[in-house]
Structure 1
């Protein structure tokens, strides 16, 4: 190891660095010397005799690099700039297309950090999570509803629990996503008010990933998502609405309130409403049984929820109908294309024909009236169904 060049390079960095040679302190920079004496002794001891690739000292993650008779102890993060740049380059174009970060991030993290699996979940209620994005073994997997008490991430949702957690297990768990053994790294996601809104996780049976880099990137992603989500309206009081017992989606009372809020904020804000009807649900019930019909409704509800951006809202309108209410900018969200892709995804997953028709309407077209908005969307839905 060319120690002169190395020490010159690290001399002015803000990252604490210590160089050991044959077990003795060979060099350290000013950032390391400014640490408390007890912390310096802990790092020296760990550098010579400690186990593991990383250690946390003075609230900083350190890693150990060895070459010959030299050992370098350095604060993590020296690869952060490159990884952050790659993360942004992969994530921002997807956000610009209206794709939820909860859907996009698992693939980005697996490919960037070399984990086999990753998941991004949002809270559905006090007992359930919505698995929005799930990347495993090089493939994107469909969204689904998970029971919180079965998830390895349950500890992230405990009040005042650490926001970043590592778990290792050597036998099967109750978590349906996990292999029989492995290492799991989870990161809680909070909004600007500090409320928990979901989590990110990566895991692998035999991880090849750098744990330090993974912790750094997961924490950065959580900060990005928390900052990206729009702030809640401080003036609005939370109201409890009834959830559909089958799909767990909010129902008409919640839709009526959401439409009322849209009227109040129009014309400053534009909205699009999509009224969606599953074609031939009665035929599915007759041909495959009501249990299959219920499975179709639940699967579609999960997938439709996954298509939502953070400000979008999805409701079960009744029977085989759903409503998607979306704030839109000058460039409308590409919802038509996404719903077409959802139809194909449903047919593939269910292994039998599937089609859902939709009618779309803008609040501008309805002159700010939510009643007119619903009537216009319903009229266009009927036109769409006639074409099928």
Structure 2
């Protein structure tokens, strides 16, 4: 049931992606304004993501998800009727403020899955993201049409969020019920107020949660640079870019839904994570040197395929290391940190692109990839040392 709730919402979210870059210029926006509109969403998601996770620990996952979905619908209605740049900003700020549904959804998956199948379950939810981000932009582009109609895609996106909210209200089962919430209250009374930094130390998640920042940085860098790169070097347009993104989205959905769980059980989550990060780093290395069209496309698939394999595994590891009483807070904070990565990644890549060109901008991804892989390699080394001792 959670899969369909997330899928329906992500289709609506994906529908507005292809129209925003075209909508803003008609309202007098510059390229800088377009970038800031996109960044505003991620900034608000970063500011409020942890709060929604914390509230889900206190009041339950289901009511938080429903509330966020319905407020998201309101933001799309605001976008549909936006006739000024300020109105567009306000709509995206509101949408970003309630983007905490994704961290709460991950916490719900952790609640209802056993540790052995956790990575598989996270992968299934991840596949909903992939399918939503394939179907959403396609449907949004079709509804916008050649005349670029903004009202219709925005209103349909709002209806999708309302449908997701109603579906959640009637069919989604609460995974963090009265007993769990009561245990949370008792835990809080016994332990007192625990700061997030203290919680990270207690659960040994200090370095793991930084991985979510690195992850979002590399993904957002790829999705930012690749369209500009192909447009500049090979005169690609939205159609060709959309086809490549669509194919990758389908592959991502299949990988996360079917293979991640199998690979994690067979080889271990840390081995899968290390291999996935190495794959995406190899993609950045190839991109920094690629001169031909097919190598450029290959580098994109390597980057995104590797990155797609990381997220379910990291969510699984984080949930296992976090007490149930604080799981929503931790998963929400990880989602929020990921949102900040979607701010830092494009800003860093865009600055390097302006100053030094595509090769250097892609090369920065190699450095982030090396920082990214340091934690799982360190964990594997320590695990082997314990076995040997």
Q: TM-score, normalization: structure 1?
A: 0.26
Q: Structure 2 length as normaliser, TM-score?
A: 0.26
Higher strand share: 1
Structure exhibiting the larger radius of gyration computed from Cα positions: 1
